[in-house]
């Protein structure tokens, strides 16, 4: 009996000390959260600052803390690839950051699960903020069922980046705003030079590219109700266009020919006439050894351009919602932040203030920066469906099969239709 | 009196075991039990847990991706285990002989074992590069047009198997060396007197007497190779076209990328049962043969 008693005592002590540890850990975070005495400490979790813009974010935080001396912001950064795994785990563990970044594609999933705080009330009461300060399309992207669950901070899109030197050598005219797929293919064929490992054009063969190419051909991968509608003639033509560039005309390097190199590196090496990539590459291409510019994307039956938005959301669980909202609003609508973003080419701030945006347009290269704004006229939003990452993976895998010839595009599109249906049900 | 000391010993045993036991219960025991519970729910980490009965297990049986990853894992095992066994034994036999720099060679062969999989994978990825890699360069010297290795669905898994075998041969070698040391030299002396050659000695003495070691090595390798993950994740990410997607990677994707904890837990338990089954069969077979 004595033994049992002793044993249970030990377990009790051990359990109490464990509980003690964990509650101590919790109070570490919220101890200073109480109002009245001193500062509120909030945690901001971000992916867009890593790894290139850590210093800019630090400057922004300093500016915010000067404006709000009773709020202290701790930043935590993760690369995009690991960001959501960590976020989801922290939310599940009841240890969510007070305010965190969400891109548009992932926003709905988090809003629909009730993990985000409704900011509508704060916005109404806020005398310093009016939604008209922001690009309306981008601002409204962060609404779910009529409530504002996030503050858009920046957006970006994808353009046709082209190497002027390669175009000149091949004697091809530069891309224009009304280029079509045919024009791009014709130019790419002239530029391609297999002996020198130079290819005419590159766009990734992935889901992220596919929904846009489909839209350029009048197609749609999911209908308004989010049901898969991939198995159509328009979408098949779009897929053929993407795959044939590799397998038929050879104007795009195959995965084997890429052999692990990033398309941006090939472009910087002068091995690509055109690369379809995001405006976040402006800074990286700044020091290219050749002349380059950007143009609107070629379309087929219509134009379509990517639109990516990042925003800040406040955790539904935090008891420091007000401080968190203030920081989200600052990141989103402050001219000071917008200026810092423009100065450092860190995406495009979502503010409407032309004065702030002017320096962005004046910077070169590229000459044709207006294309960034012109592209907004024909934007196509990423499909908002549950299980987006799984649908992404399946699609990319099937594209690989089409590229290496183990499946025809007709078979691939049939597979995609049934896989999507399976995943969404 | 004897009873008292026993009791005391028992108490002290408990005291000393407690820290480890607590760690085990908190970080291994509890997660194992909760994963079993989660496997019967549709938990997505964010929402409420809902009990769904055997739904995850039924879905598993009908999920073509799961079976593809199962097949790929079996393919990996069939290539990997014979390779490490044969080359591990060969290295052990070579390095069991008296020779100069024996310790140096043993250390060299063991070096890959203690190297991080991340570093090893990155180096092999570079070796396999069809354009700039050393392997295809070496092949081109002797006039062979090398395969596309990791970019070709037909050769990608072979590439992973070769890299994995290279890394683990040292480990298997050390286990076999231990086994060889336990074989009494008198067997070989007796065999020599009877006029047996080297091949004969290997076949009739070394291999039969190594059977317990071989058994241990096979089980350890089998358990490890069912859980192959790191090298696949880094070298191919499951591609091209899903040709190298293995079971653990599938579990990882569902748990941490698609946030289907329930389904991923169900897969983990199926993986556990598969490993358990294979090990049990091996035990039974071995029981009959060793004794």
DSSP for A65-111, please give it.
Answer: HHH-TTEEEEEEE--HHHHHHHHHHHHHTT---SEEEEEHHHHHHHH
pLDDT in tens, B51-105: 999 999 999 999 988 999 999 999 999 999 999 999 999 999 999 888 888 889 9
Query: How many angstroms away from the CA of B45 is the closest CA of chain A?
Result: 5
* Residue A363 forms part of a structural domain: no
Sort out which chain B residues have CB atoms less than 8 A from A259's CB and list them. 129-132, 151
The CATH number of whichever domain residue A53 belongs to comes to 3.40.190.10
Long-range contacts of range B4-7, CB-CB < 8 Å, 24 or more positions apart? B7/A3
Sort out which chain B residues have CB atoms less than 8 A from A266's CB and list them. none
Query: Cβ of B11 under 8 Å from any chain A Cβ?
Result: yes
* Residue A357 forms part of a structural domain: no
DSSP 8-state class, residue A31: G
pLDDT score recorded for residue A377: 86
pLDDT score recorded for residue B60: 92
d(CA B53, CA B15): 40
Element of type H or E holding A201: strand A199-202
| String of DSSP letters for A253-313 | --HHHHTT--HHHHHHTT-EEEEEEEGGGHHHHTT-SS-EEEEPPPBSSS--EE-EEEEEE
Sort out which chain B residues have CB atoms less than 8 A from A114's CB and list them. 46-47
Q: How many domains does chain B divide into?
A: 1
Query: Cβ of B242 under 8 Å from any chain A Cβ?
Result: yes
Closest among B185, B162, B164, B191 to B96, alpha carbons compared: B185
d(CA A185, CA A246): 12
* Residue B269 forms part of a structural domain: yes
d(CA B91, CA B105): 10
Domain that residue A95 falls in: 40-155+308-352
pLDDT score recorded for residue A343: 86
ipTM attached to this prediction: 0.77
* Residue A314 forms part of a structural domain: yes
pLDDT in tens, B187-207: 888 988 888 888 888 888 899
Asked whether residue A331 falls in the same domain as residue A374, the answer is: no
pLDDT score recorded for residue A2: 53
pLDDT score recorded for residue B257: 84
Sort out which chain B residues have CB atoms less than 8 A from A91's CB and list them. 45-46
* Residue B63 forms part of a structural domain: no
Sheet holding A292-295, edge to edge: A199-202, A272-278, A158-163, A292-295
pLDDT score recorded for residue B2: 56
Structure token pair of residue A150: 């996030």
Asked whether residue A300 falls in the same domain as residue A312, the answer is: no
pLDDT score recorded for residue A310: 93
Asked whether residue A248 falls in the same domain as residue A293, the answer is: yes
Q: Is A171 helix (H, G, I), strand (E, B) or coil?
A: coil
Asked whether residue A396 falls in the same domain as residue A320, the answer is: no
d(CA A378, CA B175): 65
Sort out which chain A residues have CB atoms less than 8 A from B47's CB and list them. 113-114
Query: Cβ of B145 under 8 Å from any chain A Cβ?
Result: no
Last residue of a domain, one of A325, A352, A379: A352
pLDDT score recorded for residue A224: 85
Q: Is A351 helix (H, G, I), strand (E, B) or coil?
A: strand
* Residue A134 forms part of a structural domain: yes
Query: Cβ of B123 under 8 Å from any chain A Cβ?
Result: no
Residues 6+ apart with CB under 8 A from A98: A42, A43, A44, A314, A315, A318, A320, A321, A323, A324
HSE of B3, CA atoms in CB hemisphere, 13 A: 1
Residue ranges, chain B, pLDDT below 50:
none
Q: Are A198 and A267 in contact (CB under 8 A)?
A: no
Asked whether residue A200 falls in the same domain as residue A138, the answer is: no
pLDDT score recorded for residue A8: 54
Q: Is B46 helix (H, G, I), strand (E, B) or coil?
A: coil
d(CA A16, CA A21): 9
* Residue A93 forms part of a structural domain: yes
The CATH number of whichever domain residue B207 belongs to comes to 1.10.3720.10
pLDDT score recorded for residue A19: 46
d(CA B175, CA B165): 15
Task: Give the dihedral sign, CA A283/A288/A291/A295.
Answer: negative
Max intra-chain CA distance, chain B: 83
Domain that residue B159 falls in: 71-290
Asked whether residue A282 falls in the same domain as residue A380, the answer is: yes
Asked whether residue A267 falls in the same domain as residue A342, the answer is: no
Under an 8 A CB cutoff, do A10 and B14 touch?
yes
Q: Count other C-beta atoms under 10 Å from residue B211's C-beta.
A: 13
* Residue B138 forms part of a structural domain: yes
d(CA A48, CA A79): 8
Query: How many angstroms away from the CA of B197 is the closest CA of chain A?
Result: 50
Query: How far, CA to CA in Å, does A1 sit from each of A7, A120, B17, B21, B40?
Result: 10, 62, 20, 21, 39
The CA angle B144-B149-B151, to the nearest 5 degrees, is: 130
Burial of A232: CB neighbours in 10 Å, binned 0-12, 13-18, 19+:
middle
Asked whether residue A408 falls in the same domain as residue A326, the answer is: no
Asked whether residue A209 falls in the same domain as residue A318, the answer is: no
Q: What torsion, rounded to 10 degrees, do the Cα atoms B264, B266, B271, B275 define?
A: 150
Query: How far, CA to CA in Å, does A339 sit from each of A47, A344, B127?
Result: 20, 9, 46
Element of type H or E holding A419: helix A409-424
Q: How many domains does chain A divide into?
A: 2
Query: Cβ of A14 under 8 Å from any chain B Cβ?
Result: yes
d(CA A307, CA A111): 20
Asked whether residue A281 falls in the same domain as residue A266, the answer is: yes
Phi, psi angles (nearest 5°) of residue A46 = -135, 145
Query: Cβ of B42 under 8 Å from any chain A Cβ?
Result: no
Asked whether residue A315 falls in the same domain as residue A340, the answer is: yes
Phi, psi angles (nearest 5°) of residue A244 = -60, -30
Under an 8 A CB cutoff, do B18 and A14 touch?
yes
DSSP 8-state class, residue A315: B
The whole model's pTM is what? 0.81
Asked whether residue A151 falls in the same domain as residue A184, the answer is: no
Burial of B80: CB neighbours in 10 Å, binned 0-12, 13-18, 19+:
buried
Residue ranges, chain A, pLDDT below 50:
1, 16-35
Closest among B232, B212, B231, B229 to B220, alpha carbons compared: B212
Query: How many angstroms away from the CA of B10 is the closest CA of chain A?
Result: 9
| Alpha-helix runs per DSSP H in chain B | 2-24, 30-38, 55-62, 64-96, 102-114, 117-128, 134-141, 156-181, 185-193, 198-201, 207-209, 211-226, 230-235, 247-252, 261-290
The minimal CB distance from B132 to the residues A88, A255, A259 is found for A259
Under an 8 A CB cutoff, do B45 and A91 touch?
yes
Query: Cβ of A12 under 8 Å from any chain B Cβ?
Result: no
């Amino acid at each position: 009996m004595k033994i049992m008693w002793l044993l249970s005592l030990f377990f009790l002590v051990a359990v109490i000390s464990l509980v003690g540890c964990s509650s101590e850990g919790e109070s570490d975070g919220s101890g200073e959260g109480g109002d009245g005495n001193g500062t509120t400490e909030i945690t901001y979790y971000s992916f867009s600052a890593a790894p290139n813009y850590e210093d800019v974010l630090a400057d922004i935080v300093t500016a915010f803390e000067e404006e709000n001396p009773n709020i202290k912001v701790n930043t935590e950064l993760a690369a995009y690839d690991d960001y959501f795994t960590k976020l989801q785990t922290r939310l599940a563990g009841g240890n969510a950051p007070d305010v965190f970044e969400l891109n548009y594609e992932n926003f709905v999933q988090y809003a629909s699960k009730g993990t985000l705080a409704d900011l509508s009330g704060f916005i109404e009461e806020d005398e310093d903020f009016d939604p008209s300060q922001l690009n309306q399309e981008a601002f409204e992207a962060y609404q779910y069922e009529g409530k504002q669950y996030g503050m858009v901070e920046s957006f970006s899109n994808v353009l046709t980046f082209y190497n002027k030197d390669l175009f000149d050598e091949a004697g091809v005219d530069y891309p224009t705003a009304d280029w079509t797929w045919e024009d791009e293919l014709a130019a790419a064929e002239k530029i391609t030079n297999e002996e020198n490992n130079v290819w005419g054009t590159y766009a990734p063969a992935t889901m992220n590219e596919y929904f846009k190419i489909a839209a350029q051909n009048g197609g749609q991968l999911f209908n308004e109700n989010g049901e898969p509608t991939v198995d159509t003639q328009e979408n098949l033509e779009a897929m053929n266009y993407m795959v044939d560039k590799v397998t038929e005309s050879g104007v795009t390097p195959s995965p084997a020919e890429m052999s692990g190199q990033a398309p941006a590196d090939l472009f910087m090496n002068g091995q690509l006439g055109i690369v379809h990539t995001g405006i976040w590459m402006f800074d990286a291409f700044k020091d290219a050894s050749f002349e380059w510019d950007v143009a609107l994307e070629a379309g087929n039956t219509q134009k379509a351009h990517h639109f990516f938005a990042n925003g800040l959301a406040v955790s539904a669980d935090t008891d420091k919602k007000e401080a968190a909202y203030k920081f989200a609003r600052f990141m989103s609508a402050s001219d000071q932040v917008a200026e810092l973003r423009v100065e450092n080419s860190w995406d495009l701030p979502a503010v409407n203030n032309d004065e702030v945006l002017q320096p962005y347009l004046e910077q070169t290269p590229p000459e044709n920066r207006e294309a960034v704004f012109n592209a907004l006229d024909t934007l196509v939003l990423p499909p908002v469906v549950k299980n987006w990452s799984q649908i992404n993976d399946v699609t990319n895998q099937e594209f690989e099969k089409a590229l290496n010839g183990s499946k025809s595009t007709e078979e691939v599109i049939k597979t995609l239709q049934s896989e999507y249906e399976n995943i969404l049900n | 009196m004897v009873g008292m000391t026993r009791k005391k010993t028992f108490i002290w045993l408990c005291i000393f075991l407690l820290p480890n036991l607590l760690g085990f219960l908190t970080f291994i025991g509890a997660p194992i039990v909760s994963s079993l519970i989660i496997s019967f729910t549709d938990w997505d980490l964010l929402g409420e847990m809902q009990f769904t009965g055997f739904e995850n297990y039924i879905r598993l049986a009908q999920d073509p991706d799961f079976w593809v990853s199962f097949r790929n894992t079996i393919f990996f095992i069939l290539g990997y285990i014979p390779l490490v066994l044969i080359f591990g034994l060969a290295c052990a036999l070579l390095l069991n002989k008296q020779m100069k720099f024996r310790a140096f060679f043993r250390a060299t062969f063991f070096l890959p074992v203690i190297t991080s999989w991340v570093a090893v994978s990155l180096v092999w990825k570079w070796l396999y590069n069809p354009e700039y890699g050393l392997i295809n360069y070496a092949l081109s010297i002797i006039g062979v047009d090398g395969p596309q290795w990791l970019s070709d669905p037909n050769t990608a898994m072979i590439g992973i198997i070769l890299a994995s075998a290279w890394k683990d041969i040292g480990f298997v070698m050390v286990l076999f060396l231990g086994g060889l040391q336990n074989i009494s030299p008198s067997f070989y002396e007796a065999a020599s007197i009877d006029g047996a050659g080297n091949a004969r000695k290997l076949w009739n003495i070394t291999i039969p007497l190594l059977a317990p070691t071989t058994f241990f090595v096979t089980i350890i390798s089998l358990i490890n190779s069912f859980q192959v993950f790191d090298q696949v994740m880094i070298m191919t990410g499951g591609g091209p076209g899903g040709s190298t997607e293995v079971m653990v990677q599938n579990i990882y994707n569902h748990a941490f990328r698609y946030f289907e904890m329930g389904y991923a837990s169900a897969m983990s338990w199926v993986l556990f049962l598969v490993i358990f089954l294979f090990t049990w069969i091996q035990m039974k077979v071995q029981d009959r043969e060793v004794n």
